């Protein structure tokens, strides 16, 4: 069974530039999550989708972050404009019921 796919694995940009991350969840998983993990910390939920609807985006900085999940499958997370403090690993996860499965993550460095 294929796992959660994410791309790109690494991205380096300058502040004020934009970046987009892509996630393909495990087939059949209705729930998709985007987490931000800063070095040395646990992951922080940015947004949770159930199919193509948003369940929780309370910690998403909506002035610069946006996410969509068209057709209830793939998802894209965008940051525009990026700030230095956005340097982190962006993790995508999916679940069918209770257990979460994570992708390898996309490491963002903002210079």
Q: By CB under 8 A, name the binding residues for another protein.
A: 4, 6, 40-45, 56, 91, 93, 98-105, 107
Tokens coding 32: 């998709």
Nearer to another protein, 65 or 81 (CB): 65
Instruction: Answer whether the bond into residue 5 is a cis peptide, omega within 30°.
Output: no
Secondary structure letter of residue 64 according to DSSP: T
Nearer to another protein, 58 or 71 (CB): 58
Tell the smallest beta-carbon distance from residue 48 to another protein (Å).
Answer: 9
SS3 72: helix
Tell the smallest beta-carbon distance from residue 13 to another protein (Å).
Answer: 19
Nearer to another protein, 30 or 45 (CB): 45
Query: How far is Cα 25 from Cα 7, in angstroms, rounded to an integer?
Result: 12
């Amino acid at each position: 069974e294929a796992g959660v796919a994410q791309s790109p694995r690494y991205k380096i940009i300058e502040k004020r530039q934009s970046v987009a991350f892509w996630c393909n969840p495990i087939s059949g998983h209705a729930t998709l999550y985007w987490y931000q993990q800063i070095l040395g910390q646990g992951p922080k939920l940015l947004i949770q989708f159930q199919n193509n609807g948003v369940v929780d985006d309370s910690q998403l900085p909506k002035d610069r972050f946006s996410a969509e999940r068209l057709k209830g499958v793939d998802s894209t997370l965008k940051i525009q404009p990026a700030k230095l403090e956005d340097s982190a690993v962006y993790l995508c996860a999916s679940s069918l019921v209770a257990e979460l499965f994570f992708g390898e993550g996309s490491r963002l460095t903002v210079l």
